[in-house]
Amino acid sequence: MAWIRSDLMAIREERATHTIFYQHAREPLSTAGRTAADKLLAVASAFVPEGRTSLFNKFSIADADLAMMLQRLIANGETVPPKLRAFADAQWQRPSVRAFVNHPRPPYVPY
């Protein structure tokens, strides 16, 4: 989880959470953003077991954190391998995650 928060900052900056829930990004990823996205996809591909919906034997917050990072790409039209898209979509369907995804949000005000 620390790796997602520290090493992939370009994704977090260029595909902020509001681009999932409010307005999608209008600009393509920068070189730094593309490099970070490629790194995320490579590492996630290595760690997400084929056909599984969690990193470990059962759900953990690491699953939700990784899915949120992948959703930053998915929601903004980036190409994500089917295995990782299925993983992120499965996490997005968990009742606890659905509660967060679907909770009422105030109108977005850019800062």
CB atoms within 10 A of CB 44: 21
What digits encode the pLDDT tens for the residues 34-51? 999 999 999 999 999 888
Task: Specify the CATH number for the domain of residue 57.
Answer: 1.20.1050.10
Q: Is residue 75 part of a domain?
A: yes
Residue 95 scores a pLDDT above 90: yes
Total domain count, the chain: 1
- Full domain range(s) for residue 44: 2-22+31-102
Long-range contacts of residues 63-67, Cβ cutoff 8 Å, at least 24 apart: 63/87, 63/91, 64/91, 64/94, 64/96, 64/97, 65/1, 65/4, 66/4, 66/91, 67/91, 67/92, 67/97
24 has pLDDT over 80 = yes
Q: Is residue 63 part of a domain?
A: yes
Q: Is residue 45 part of a domain?
A: yes
Report, in this order, helix, strand and coil percent for the chain, each rounded to 5.
60, 0, 40
Output the pTM of the full model. Answer: 0.91
Within-domain flag for 16: yes
Please check the confidence at residue 111 and state whether its pLDDT lies above 80: no
Q: Does residue 62 lie in a domain region?
A: yes
User: Is residue 110, in this structure, part of any structural domain at all?
Assistant: no
